[in-house]
Chains A and B, each alone.
Chain A
Amino acid sequence: MEYKFIGKEFKRVDALSKLTGRARFLADIILPHMYYGIFLRASIAHGEILDIETEDAKNVEGVKAIVLGRDFPHNYGHLIKDRPIFAFDKVRYYGEAIGGVIAKTEEAARVAADKVKVSYKPLPIITHPKESLNNKEVIIREVSPTPDMVYRPVKGTNIFHYDVVKRGDVEKGFEEADIIVESEFNIAPINHVQIEPHGAIALWDEDGSLTVWSSTQAPFTVRYFLSDIFELPLNKVRVIAYYVGGGFGGKSDVGIEPMVALLAKSVPGHPVKVILSREEVFHGSFLRGNFWGRVKTGVKKDGKIVSEKVEFAMGGGGSGEFGGTVVDGAFKSAVGPYEIENVHAVGYGVYTNLPPTGAFRGYGHPETHWMIERQRDIIARKLGIDPVVLRKKNILKPGSINIIGQKIEEHNGNLEKCLDLVVEELDWPNNIGHIDKKNKKAYGKGFALLQKSPVMPTNAASSAILKLNDDGTVNLTVGTQEIGQGIDTALTQIAAEALGISPEKIKLVPYRDTDLYPYEWQTVASRGVWSVGNAIIMAADEVKHKMRKVAKEIFSVDEEDIVVEDGLVFPQGEKEKAITYKDLAIGYTLPEGSGIGGPIVGAGYFIPEGLVYPDPETGQGNSAAEWTFGAQGVEIEVDLITGKVKILKAVTAIDAGTIINPENARGQVVGAMAMALSIAQREAIVISKEGKIRNDSLTDYKISTIRDVPSEYKVFFVETEEETGPFGARSLAEHGMVAMAPALANALYNALGVEFFKLPITFEDIALAIDEKKIV
């Protein structure tokens, strides 16, 4: 399809304000009569709280109140209710908040917080998911299933949720197979490291209403939880959010807002502000939990995969509420983008003595793909066939049935084409790897495939409002958040296309406010363009319909005979009579002076129709709204002395449907590739024997700097139009994360002949492996 504004160059609508320092972020907000809060944090990783001594702290000058968990012993949650606002009975991870101090200045709050003395009865700790899965002695949290609980905890264990997929008969499949390949995988816990730390401000009014300013990706979800926790009607809770300085999922789950709101409740009339220190971001926000998994695959000699059994456990930290749905995301992609007749997959979310697991760009998919895409290369090697050939024999194509029983349609995208583009860019299978002994270097290429669907409730909805101004310009409000992904820009283009006016005439009103902006479930899951985009098209239709209704009076013709096109409104075939949006925006004035119509506003909504809960025993059912497929690859150079890996080229081909804004879309994919490689090469939360996070600073937890990123990025978009998407589009902010790690490890094998099964693969790991294999 040819579009006027979709797929065309259009610069980011938020660029200028972000470049001049005008753009507002949460920390920039200072309110009159504001107080500051500091959280009290646990100094052990697991133990009962015996006593908290606050007398000395209360006497510090400027201290207004001290709030403890035991003052409001409440677990919140929508799916399992296992998240305390502040820990009250026991602490379950090092750094867990047990209360907070409010003072006139940050300094006074900090001085007072240091004077609070807590005594604990320490308990044994568990940090690894596999250990937690098998442990029945150390129970981190007791939860018993209740009928209204969405998760499925297993009594007497640390399992707070699990998912199952069952298709065919895996055992029979293994019998039919020519070879069986079994592997075990691990991934370390990681942090999002958004450059903007989390923050919130809360203010209680005399009338009992609550306003919260937050760095959230999900203002309406924050509102929901606050209303639920404090038993307030939704219109007495107002959540205001500015630009988010990087989210990556880590600001979509609700953590800091109830804490700050509870603090502020003790000082009504005064806003209380808390910004996490960088250290606190590491142990006081959310992590991508550690991950363990095992894969057993049965394959025919020709490469046909006949049976696959997958078992995995994700460390959920001390509360499972926001981590269990990551398991829900992972299990649908437990065997990657392949059609396999016999599958048995079980995924567990288990409590650990670590900070809670929450959303992280990719939502379980990087984890399962780490296993599966490594496994595919290992299988190909065992059979002596090219990994491209092996994959092509098994990948999902139109007509295939995926592991949750959905039939893949043409419009879901063209995975094979993505694979072809990547291997062509890598010049596969030429020079896939060699060692240059003379120069002490090794070279390798590797690739991997990916699939992802937006992981969300079956009823995750969006809405949008278009308001015409009297000069013909338009204001657009949506509830989805600008978190750096460029949503405000893409949605402006969609509105322009739908209304037939240039994007310069449309203002997507920056920042969000749950009192004023229309509802949005959350800004996560790579669904904004797709979901909100659809709502905008509906809103535009309403705008046009209202204009037609007025125009039919003006021109005395039937409504169907009114054309609305390119900012003009006219009777069919009489363009010379055209009036403009401007003439109709706030009502039309007839020649004799009387007005008709009125100010034009269009509202639209979207909900993914026809989604159902997966069958609890087999995981089958239409639970994924749409799929996006892609392939990724790398070319690397390994220094055989230091183990240092240089990424010479990083490639992604993705079929995300119609691309709305090519420059920003590329920016998302490149940024995700860089993030994934940073994670794969150097990121791990290091935990001491006592369960403390040992690298809670940017000096010790290193993310890639400008010197560590790939020398070259290549991005290809395959644009198969999505039937359910606005102008054929799907979203794409996460997908570049999904298969980079296995692509890197596959390249490392081709370079060095070493199989890596755990992430990250640090330079030290590589140097050790080189040593062990006596490569130099």
Chain B
Amino acid sequence: MKKIIKLRVNGEDYEILVEPYWTLLKVLRDVLGFTGPKEGCGIGECGACTVYIDDKPVKSCLVLGVEVNGANITTIEGLSQNKKISGIQKAFIDEGAVQCGFCTPGMVMAINALYTNVSDPGEDDIKEALKGHLCRCTGYETIVKAAKRAKEYYKR
């Protein structure tokens, strides 16, 4: 039986009809059209689907839509507001940390969240934050560099 849920996504309010077994990822992508979060595995193994629920990074394939009724969600589309991209997005460009781009939204969300908690993350904090995120293209080198470089943009 479908249920009505309310979600606030990237600052906009939505009221939608969802099946109880739909994941938050499916709701965001297929119902609301936020296709920034990606599905690499659907079972919590790759991190590509990471979004924020009330500012906390969560793998949206592991959460059901009905579970988060009333929640405040941010997706990668919500990180760049008013045409301004966030510090970590800039740093990814600086360091050439994007290749195929499929892991990128998840990586960016995780690192941006790290900076809201730690102002000067070290290599180990970065690796801890990204340990559940797989990238098959980069060997992670440029991603770590970008995570470090983002420091310049976050301290203001």
Interface on A for B, CB 8 Å cutoff? Answer: 11-12, 14-16, 18-25, 27-28, 30, 107, 192-197, 243-248, 275, 277-278, 483-486, 663-664, 666-667, 670-671, 673-675, 697-699, 703-707, 709-710, 713
* Residue pair B41, A671 in contact (C-beta under 8 Å): no
* Residue pair B143, A484 in contact (C-beta under 8 Å): no
Cα–Cα distance between A594 and B75 once the two chains are bound (Å):
54
Choice from A197, A663, A674, A707 contacting B40 with Cβ under 8 Å: A197
Cα–Cα distance between A376 and B111 once the two chains are bound (Å):
44
- Which residue of chain A is the closest to B96 with respect to CB atoms? A663
Chain B residues with a Cβ closer than 8 Å to the other chain, count: 53
Give chain B residues whose Cβ lies under 8 Å from the Cβ of A664: 96
Give chain A residues whose Cβ lies under 8 Å from the Cβ of B104: 18-19
* Residue pair A246, B139 in contact (C-beta under 8 Å): no
Known: A18-B101, A19-B89, A484-B137. A667 touches B142 (CB 8 A): yes
- 7 new A-B contacts, CB < 8 A, other than A14-B98, A18-B101, are A12-B98, A16-B89, A21-B77, A195-B46, A484-B101, A671-B99, A706-B131
Cα–Cα distance between A602 and B133 once the two chains are bound (Å):
44
Give chain A residues whose Cβ lies under 8 Å from the Cβ of B103: 195
The 3 closest A-B pairs by CB, nearest first: A21-B36, A674-B139, A484-B100
Known: A195-B46, A245-B100. A20 touches B89 (CB 8 A): yes
Most chain B Cβ neighbours within 10 Å, of A20, A484, A667, A673: A20
Cα–Cα distance between A707 and B42 once the two chains are bound (Å):
22
Interface stretch of the complex, out of B27-35, B62-70, B114-122, B148-156: B27-35
* Residue pair A245, B96 in contact (C-beta under 8 Å): no
CB proximity of B78 to chain A, nearest CB, Å: 9
CB proximity of B71 to chain A, nearest CB, Å: 19
* Residue pair A713, B131 in contact (C-beta under 8 Å): no
Give chain B residues whose Cβ lies under 8 Å from the Cβ of A19: 76, 85, 89, 92-93, 98, 101, 104-105, 108
Known: A11-B93, A196-B102. A670 touches B139 (CB 8 A): yes
Give chain A residues whose Cβ lies under 8 Å from the Cβ of B40: 195-197, 245, 278
- Which residue of chain A is the closest to B139 with respect to CB atoms? A674
Known: A21-B34, A196-B100, A706-B144. A278 touches B137 (CB 8 A): no
CB proximity of A22 to chain B, nearest CB, Å: 8
Known: A484-B101, A703-B136. A20 touches B85 (CB 8 A): yes
Cα–Cα distance between A512 and B142 once the two chains are bound (Å):
28
Total cross-chain contacts (CB, 8 A): 164
* Residue pair B137, A246 in contact (C-beta under 8 Å): yes
Give chain B residues whose Cβ lies under 8 Å from the Cβ of A278: 40-43, 45
CB proximity of A673 to chain B, nearest CB, Å: 6
CB proximity of B106 to chain A, nearest CB, Å: 9
* Residue pair A706, B140 in contact (C-beta under 8 Å): yes
Known: A21-B37, A675-B136. A194 touches B92 (CB 8 A): no
Cα–Cα distance between A347 and B89 once the two chains are bound (Å):
47
Choice from A244, A248, A674 contacting B138 with Cβ under 8 Å: A674
Cα–Cα distance between A699 and B131 once the two chains are bound (Å):
13
* Residue pair B39, A27 in contact (C-beta under 8 Å): yes
Q: Does B135 contact A (CB under 8 A)?
A: yes
Choice from B21, B43, B133 contacting A706 with Cβ under 8 Å: B133
* Residue pair B105, A194 in contact (C-beta under 8 Å): no
Q: Does B79 contact A (CB under 8 A)?
A: yes
Q: Does B48 contact A (CB under 8 A)?
A: yes
* Residue pair A193, B143 in contact (C-beta under 8 Å): no
* Residue pair B76, A20 in contact (C-beta under 8 Å): yes
Give chain B residues whose Cβ lies under 8 Å from the Cβ of A671: 99, 137-139
Q: Does B141 contact A (CB under 8 A)?
A: yes
CB proximity of A700 to chain B, nearest CB, Å: 10
* Residue pair B42, A277 in contact (C-beta under 8 Å): yes
* Residue pair B141, A713 in contact (C-beta under 8 Å): yes
* Residue pair B38, A196 in contact (C-beta under 8 Å): yes
Cα–Cα distance between A248 and B100 once the two chains are bound (Å):
11
CB proximity of B124 to chain A, nearest CB, Å: 10
CB proximity of A23 to chain B, nearest CB, Å: 6
* Residue pair B131, A670 in contact (C-beta under 8 Å): no
CB proximity of B110 to chain A, nearest CB, Å: 11
Give chain A residues whose Cβ lies under 8 Å from the Cβ of B139: 670-671, 673-675, 704, 709-710, 713
Cα–Cα distance between A703 and B42 once the two chains are bound (Å):
17
CB proximity of A665 to chain B, nearest CB, Å: 10
Choice from B35, B43, B127 contacting A21 with Cβ under 8 Å: B35
Cα–Cα distance between A567 and B27 once the two chains are bound (Å):
49
Cα–Cα distance between A21 and B106 once the two chains are bound (Å):
10
CB proximity of A698 to chain B, nearest CB, Å: 4
Most chain B Cβ neighbours within 10 Å, of A21, A245, A248, A705: A21
* Residue pair A193, B136 in contact (C-beta under 8 Å): yes
Q: Does B19 contact A (CB under 8 A)?
A: yes
Give chain B residues whose Cβ lies under 8 Å from the Cβ of A23: 101
CB proximity of A86 to chain B, nearest CB, Å: 24
Cα–Cα distance between A663 and B75 once the two chains are bound (Å):
29
Known: A194-B100, A196-B38, A671-B139. A20 touches B134 (CB 8 A): no
Give chain A residues whose Cβ lies under 8 Å from the Cβ of B76: 19-21
* Residue pair B19, A107 in contact (C-beta under 8 Å): yes
Interface string of B44-85 (1 = CB under 8 A from A): 011010000000000000000000000000011101100001
- Which residue of chain A is the closest to B90 with respect to CB atoms? A19
* Residue pair B136, A248 in contact (C-beta under 8 Å): yes
- Which residue of chain B is the closest to A21 with respect to CB atoms? B36
* Residue pair B93, A16 in contact (C-beta under 8 Å): yes
Cα–Cα distance between A36 and B8 once the two chains are bound (Å):
28
CB proximity of B137 to chain A, nearest CB, Å: 5
* Residue pair B102, A245 in contact (C-beta under 8 Å): yes
Cα–Cα distance between A675 and B142 once the two chains are bound (Å):
14
* Residue pair B79, A28 in contact (C-beta under 8 Å): no
- Which residue of chain B is the closest to A28 with respect to CB atoms? B35
- Which residue of chain A is the closest to B99 with respect to CB atoms? A484
* Residue pair B29, A28 in contact (C-beta under 8 Å): yes
Give chain B residues whose Cβ lies under 8 Å from the Cβ of A277: 42
Q: Does B9 contact A (CB under 8 A)?
A: no
Q: Does B24 contact A (CB under 8 A)?
A: no
- Which residue of chain A is the closest to B80 with respect to CB atoms? A20
CB proximity of B46 to chain A, nearest CB, Å: 6
Q: Report 28 cross-chain contacts, Cβ distance below 8 Å, ordered by A residue.
A: A14-B98, A15-B96, A16-B89, A18-B104, A19-B98, A20-B77, A20-B85, A21-B77, A27-B38, A193-B136, A194-B100, A195-B38, A195-B46, A195-B100, A195-B102, A195-B135, A196-B100, A243-B100, A246-B100, A278-B41, A484-B102, A664-B96, A675-B136, A699-B45, A703-B134, A705-B134, A706-B131, A710-B139
* Residue pair B141, A709 in contact (C-beta under 8 Å): yes
* Residue pair B136, A195 in contact (C-beta under 8 Å): yes
Cα–Cα distance between A11 and B144 once the two chains are bound (Å):
18
Cα–Cα distance between A484 and B135 once the two chains are bound (Å):
12
